[in-house]
Amino acid sequence: MLQISIPMYGLLDCNNFYASCERVFNPSLNGKPVVVLSNNDGCVIARSSEAKTLGIPMGEPAYKLKELIETNKVAVFSSNYVLYGDLSHRVMTILQSFVPEIEIYSIDEAFLLFDGFEKINLHEFGAKIVQTTTQNTGIPVSLGIAPTKTLAKVASKFAKKYKNYKGVCVIDTDEKREKALKLFDIGDVWGIGRQYSKKLQYYGVNTAWDFTQRSKSWVRHTMGVTGERTWLELRGTPCIEMDRSVTKKSICTSRSFGERLTELAPISEAVANFAASCAEKLRKQHSLASIVMVFIHTNPFATNEPKYANQIVLPLPVPTSDTTEIIRFALAGLKTIYKDGFRYKKAGVIITEILPERPFQQDLFEVRNRDKFNKIMGVMDSLNESYGKQKVKIAAQGFDRKWKLKNEKLSPCYTTKLSDILEIKAAE
pLDDT, residue 154, reads: 97
Does one domain contain both 285 and 228?
Answer: no
Does 126 fall in a domain? yes
Instruction: Taking residues 345-363, report their average pLDDT.
Output: 80
3-state secondary structure the chain: CCCCCCCEEEEEEECCHHHHHHHHCCHHHCCCCEEEECHHHCEEEEECHHHHHCCCCCCCEHHHHHHHHHHCCCEEEECCHHHHHHHHHHHHHHHHCCCCEEEEEECCEEEEEECCCCCCCHHHHHHHHHHHHHHHHCCCEEEEEECCHHHHHHHHHHHHHCHHHCCEEECCCHHHHHHHHHCCEHHHCCCCCHHHHHHHHHCCCCEHHHHHCCCHHHHHHHHHHHHHHHHHHHCCCCCCCCCCCCCCCCEEEEEEEEEEECCHHHHHHHHHHHHHHHHHHHHHCCEEEEEEEEEEEECCCCCCCCCCEEEEEEEEEEEECCHHHHHHHHHHHHHHHCCCCCCEEEEEEEEEEEEECCCCCCCCCCCCCHHHHHHHHHHHHHHHHHHCCCCCCCHHHCCCCCCCCCCCCCCCCCCCCHHHCCCCCCCC
Does one domain contain both 317 and 364?
Answer: yes
Q: Give the CATH number, domain containing residue 61.
A: 3.40.1170.60
Does one domain contain both 24 and 160?
Answer: no
Does one domain contain both 58 and 146?
Answer: no
pLDDT, residue 324, reads: 92
Give yes or no for residue 36 having a pLDDT over 70.
Answer: yes
Instruction: Taking residues 417-428, report their average pLDDT.
Output: 76
Q: Give the CATH number, domain containing residue 299.
A: 3.30.1490.100
pLDDT tens-digit readout, 49-93: 999 999 999 988 888 999 999 999 999 999 898 899 999 999 999
Among 170-184, 304-318, 359-373, name the one with the lowest average pLDDT: 359-373
pLDDT band at 406 (very low <50, low <70, confident <90, very high): low
Does 35 fall in a domain? yes
Total of domains in the chain: 3
Give yes or no for residue 244 having a pLDDT over 80.
Answer: no
Give yes or no for residue 207 having a pLDDT over 60.
Answer: yes
Among 1-10, 274-283, 350-359, name the one with the lowest average pLDDT: 1-10
Does one domain contain both 223 and 272?
Answer: no
Q: Give the CATH number, domain containing residue 194.
A: 3.30.70.270
Does 402 fall in a domain? no
Does 427 fall in a domain? no
Does one domain contain both 379 and 310?
Answer: yes
Does one domain contain both 100 and 213?
Answer: yes
Does 167 fall in a domain? yes
Does one domain contain both 330 and 353?
Answer: yes
pLDDT tens-digit readout, 128-176: 999 999 999 999 999 999 999 999 999 999 999 989 999 999 999 999 9
Question: Model's pTM, two decimal places?
Answer: 0.76
Does 364 fall in a domain? yes
Does one domain contain both 129 and 211?
Answer: yes
Does 428 fall in a domain? no
Domain hosting 314: range is 251-397
